[in-house]
Structure 1
Amino acid sequence: MRNVPLEAMDGLRVPVLPIATDYPPGYLLRWHEHRRAQFLYAATGTMLVETDDGAWTVPGERGVLIPPRTRHQVRMLDVQTSSLYIEPAAVPWWPASCRVVDVGPMLRELLLAASDIEGEYSAAGREGVLVALILHELAALPETPLHVPLPVRAPFAALCRSFLAAPDASVSNAAWARTVGMSERTLTRHFSAEVRMSPAAWRVRALLLAAIPMLRHRSVSQVATDLGYSSPAAFSVAFAREFGMPPSRLSTRNDSPSAT
């Protein structure tokens, strides 16, 4: 199915509803939740997924597992998506929080084929076998740690969401402490207790996540400069330390070997 609302199909008595959707650039799918678990795949572009307690960046050819009844919003950056809406009983192994996963060539082809499934289908027919194979593949996908936790309590939630909306390498603990009327020591203690990261480490990770959509349109060297790193090599080391891969894996622009 393509470009149909989930609400019109959710009552169908099938374990998986495949729906492919095209979104205009920059489209914000505002806060909502689903009764079913959702596998949301970005065929192109980048998706920025946010829940009450975390933010996930999903580059092209990756997907995100979203638990049922999880409030979330998604910003679509030049994205074509394929979604699978799955009855929770069909995926008892589904994670309790969002998870970004790599999607290989086989699953990409299966998702493309599934987008042509219309309405109800027989579990014993071709469509049912295709869906069963997709579920097996989903259970084996490797996780990519492209996320940052978000505090729930004020005033830290507002600080972090504001930073995600406009990442700025010049922001310091002192600036955050002034904003919330705390000492730097108190800020660090309470923030670290809630998210298990120091404020400075959190901002570094959030800043590097912000680099991911930039890498679709700029070279590693350009992104390193834009984010305030002293060199492309320093940026690449920081990126690989956080996410387990060099930024060149996500860049669509040519760059010098020293930058990757």
Structure 2
Amino acid sequence: MRNVQLADVDQVARDVLPIGTDYPPGQVLDWHRHRRAQFLYGATGVMIVETDDGTWTVPTDRAVLIPGDMRHRVRMLNVSTRSLYIEPDAVPWWPHVCTVVDVTPLLRELLLVAVDFETEYDLAGREGAIAALLLHEITRLSPVPLHVGLPSSPDLRDLCREYLADPDVQITNEDWARRLVTSERAFTRRFRRETGISPAAWRTRARLVASVPLLRTSTITQVASRLGYSSPASFTAAFSRTFGFPPSALAAK
């Protein structure tokens, strides 16, 4: 199934519905939810998935597991997706929060094959076996920490979303406290209470997460300078320490 709407096939009696979709550059799928869990794989480009609780950045050849009935929106940066929409009862082990995962070569090939299934594919034949194998392979995937949490308060969350859209190394706790008409100490205490980390540590992580789509179109040197790092080496060290792999793994080939 390619470029079809989930609503048109949601009630089909199949636990796994594979759908491939090609998106125009920069398209935003505004806030929505669907009752099925979703395995959202980006064959090309970068996806930015937002929920009320956080932001997950999904590079090419990675995927994000989205729980059923979770409110979310997705920004597509030159993306072609291969999604699986899955009946919740078929995956009781599905995570309760969005999770970015690496995708194995086998799973990638299975996804590419599955999106060409007919809507009511044969459960007893090859297609049914592939659908079952897809679920087995997903359980074996390793999480990748390409996310940043958001505060629960709307005013703090708005500050954080604004920062993620345009990370500015010059912004300080004092700047944010002034925006909210509060003292820096009270602001910092409240931010830490809602996120578990200091505002400065949050901004550092946010800049690293925001670097992921930049790496598709810019050099590591350019990204390091854009985000305020003193050198490409310091940016690479911070990125590798936070995510467990170097930024070169995501750079455009």
The reply to whether TM is greater than 0.5 is yes
* Map 1:84-233 → 2, pairs under 5 A: 84-233=84-233
Task: List gaps (5 residues or longer) in structure 1.
Answer: 254-260
Q: How many residues align?
A: 253
Provide the C-alpha distance between the structure 1 equivalents of 2:171 and 2:125, rounded to a whole number of angstroms: 57
Establish whether residue 23 from structure 1 lines up as the match of residue 46 from structure 2.
Answer: no
Residue number in structure 2 paired with 1:257: none
Question: CA offset at residue 157 of structure 1?
Answer: 1.1
Report SS of the residue matched to 1:26: coil
**What is the one-letter code of the residue matched to 1:79?**
V
Question: CA offset at residue 154 of structure 1?
Answer: 3.2
The runs of 4+ residues in structure 1 deviating greater than 3 Å are none
Deviations 1:52-108 (A, max 9, x none): 111000000000000000000000001010110000011110000000000011111
Report SS of the residue matched to 1:155: helix
Provide the C-alpha distance between the structure 2 equivalents of 1:233 and 1:76, rounded to a whole number of angstroms: 29
Residue number in structure 1 paired with 2:7: 7
Deviations 1:173-219 (A, max 9, x none): 01001001111111111111111111111111111111111111111
Question: CA offset at residue 225 of structure 1?
Answer: 1.1
Task: List gaps (5 residues or longer) in structure 2.
Answer: none
Question: CA offset at residue 123 of structure 1?
Answer: 2.2
Report SS of the residue matched to 1:81: strand
Question: CA offset at residue 168 of structure 1?
Answer: 1.1
Residue number in structure 1 paired with 2:33: 33
Bigger drift between 41-50 and 241-250 goes to 241-250
Bigger drift between 219-228 and 62-71 goes to 219-228
Residue number in structure 1 paired with 2:242: 242
**What is the one-letter code of the residue matched to 2:118?**
E
Report SS of the residue matched to 2:81: strand
CA RMSD of aligned residues (A): 0.9
Aligned-residue sequence identity (percent) comes to: 60
Report SS of the residue matched to 1:118: coil
